[in-house]
């Protein structure tokens, strides 16, 4: 980072559509300097129809870093992890009022909200009871989102070097998938009150880079990608019931993050060495379209209920110095130009 610049990048770690497809929420911050501080941290809500910002929730606590945002099923609340789970009123005109907040005793490595049962899944690295240090033990917790009450607390068979990279509920809410650093996918069945181990399968290992996943709309398949440059193919689709690969999406290099359209067979991922988002057909493995994202990079993405793609953008400080009004969200409708 240049010494005369106050931060290195403007980063958008999370972008998500409301369930009615009207609004887009995004978490954004400036990575400040080498000591890990962040500045200008906030959650913004844009009206997807008028392309205007209708709500801004500032995050002023220097110890907090927002990496996850979700909408409740009624589109009235935003669920934010910062590293406390907080609920904010997201209705127009309510000014983002804080509705409730609860904390987890440990370091949360990933979060996923499940709208059907109003619960949230968290992978937690616990703190030792005799000190403030972190243990090597990880637990998978399911909690009620409104008050943090624990529904499930399951010890995971993971060590520190097998930390969970990605956690995600299936669209129908009946399965939960975890991807760890050693290239193992763990699948659990969920009945609304309890988790049951279903199966595990290997998708690696990827000794470098993070992994991420995306469920198919029918909850039968899981696409897995990595940001490891050496991974070939970059995206592999697995049958969740058998753990067998059924399709490979070829790309020479990192494909990260990843999102599967809820209304089609299209899978989108950012290809960083080409500064583009590539859309594949999951059935044929063929490329449908490439979206030129230059000069910015993409750090998060999400499809709307009707198949519109939102991209969370990543700008360098020098780019922002040249144009301070750079957008952190881009909206793309396949077959048209990104907005």
Starting at the edge strand found earlier in the chain, the sheet holding 150-155 runs 106-114, 119-127, 134-144, 150-155
CA atoms within 13 A on the CB side of 96: 15
Is 54 within a domain? yes
Strand blocks (E) in 72-217: 77-81, 84-89, 98-103, 106-114, 119-127, 134-144, 150-155, 164-169, 175-180, 184-190, 195-202, 211-215
Question: Cα(116)–Cα(119) distance, rounded to whole angstroms?
Answer: 8
In terms of residue numbers, what domain contains 38? Answer: 1-99+293-339
Task: Please calculate the CA angle 316-320-321 and round it to the nearest 5 degrees.
Answer: 115
Amino acid 177: pLDDT: 96
Q: Which one, of 165, 154, 249, lies nearest residue 195 by Cα? A: 154
pLDDT at 244 (0 to 100): 93
Among 253, 190, 267, which residue's Cα sits nearest to residue 224?
Answer: 267
Is 59 part of a structural domain of the chain?
yes
Domain count, the chain: 1
Residue 261 lies in a domain: no
Residue 28 belongs to some domain of the structure: yes
CA distances from 195 to 142, 188, 198 (A): 9, 6, 9
Q: Look at residue 161 and tell me if it is in a domain.
A: no
In a domain, 171, yes or no: no
Confidence of residue 206 (pLDDT cuts 50, 70, 90): low
pLDDT digits (tens, 9 = 90+) for 168-189: 999 999 999 999 877 889 999 9
Reported confidence tier of residue 304, pLDDT bands at 50, 70, 90: very high
Residue 279 located in a structural domain: no
Per residue in 222-253, pLDDT (tens digit) is: 999 866 655 566 789 999 999 999 998 876 66
16: number of Cβ within 10 Å: 23
Give CA–CA dist 271/280, Å, rounded: 12
Radius of gyration of the chain (CA): 19
Does residue 199 have a cis peptide bond before it, meaning omega lies within 30 degrees of 0?
A: no
DSSP 8-state class, residue 128: P
User: pLDDT at position 129, please?
Assistant: 76
* pLDDT above 60: residue 209: no
Please compute the mean of the pLDDT values over residues 321-330 and round it to a whole number. Answer: 72
Q: Is residue 234 part of a domain?
A: no
pLDDT band at 32 (very low <50, low <70, confident <90, very high): low
Diameter over CA atoms, the chain:
58
Label residue 131 by pLDDT band (50, 70, 90).
confident
The whole-number average pLDDT for the span 149-167 is: 79
């Amino acid at each position: 980072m240049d010494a005369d610049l106050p931060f290195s990048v403007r980063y958008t770690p999370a972008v998500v559509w409301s369930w009615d497809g009207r609004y887009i929420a995004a978490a954004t911050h400036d990575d400040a300097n080498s000591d890990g501080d962040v500045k200008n941290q906030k959650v913004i809500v844009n009206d997807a129809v008028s392309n205007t910002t209708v709500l801004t929730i500032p995050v002023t606590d220097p110890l907090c870093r927002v990496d996850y945002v979700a909408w409740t099923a009624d589109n009235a609340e935003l669920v934010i992890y910062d590293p406390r789970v907080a609920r904010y009123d997201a209705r127009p005109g309510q000014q983002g009022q804080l509705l409730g907040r609860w904390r987890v005793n440990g370091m949360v490595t990933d979060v996923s909200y499940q709208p059907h049962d109003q619960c949230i899944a968290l992978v937690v690295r616990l703190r030792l009871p005799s000190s403030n240090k972190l243990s090597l033990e990880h637990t998978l917790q399911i909690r009620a989102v409104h008050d943090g009450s624990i529904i499930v607390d399951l010890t995971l068979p993971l060590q520190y070097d097998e930390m969970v990279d990605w956690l995600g509920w299936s669209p129908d809410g009946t399965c939960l998938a975890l991807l760890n650093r050693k290239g193992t996918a763990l699948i659990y069945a969920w009945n609304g009150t309890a988790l049951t181990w279903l199966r595990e399968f290997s998708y690696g290992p990827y000794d470098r880079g993070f992994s991420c996943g995306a469920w198919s709309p029918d909850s039968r398949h899981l696409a897995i990608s990595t940001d490891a440059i050496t991974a070939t193919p970059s995206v592999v689709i697995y049958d969740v019931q058998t753990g067998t690969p059924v399709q490979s999406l070829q790309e020479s290099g990192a494909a990260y993050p990843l999102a599967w359209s809820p209304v089609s067979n299209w899978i989108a991922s950012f290809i960083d060495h080409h500064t583009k988002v590539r859309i594949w057909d999951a059935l044929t493995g063929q490329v449908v379209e490439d979206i030129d994202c230059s000069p910015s990079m993409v750090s998060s993405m999400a499809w709307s209920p009707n198949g519109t793609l939102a991209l969370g953008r990543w700008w360098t400080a020098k780019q922002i110095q040249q144009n301070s009004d750079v957008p952190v969200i881009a909206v793309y409708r396949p077959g048209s130009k990104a907005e």
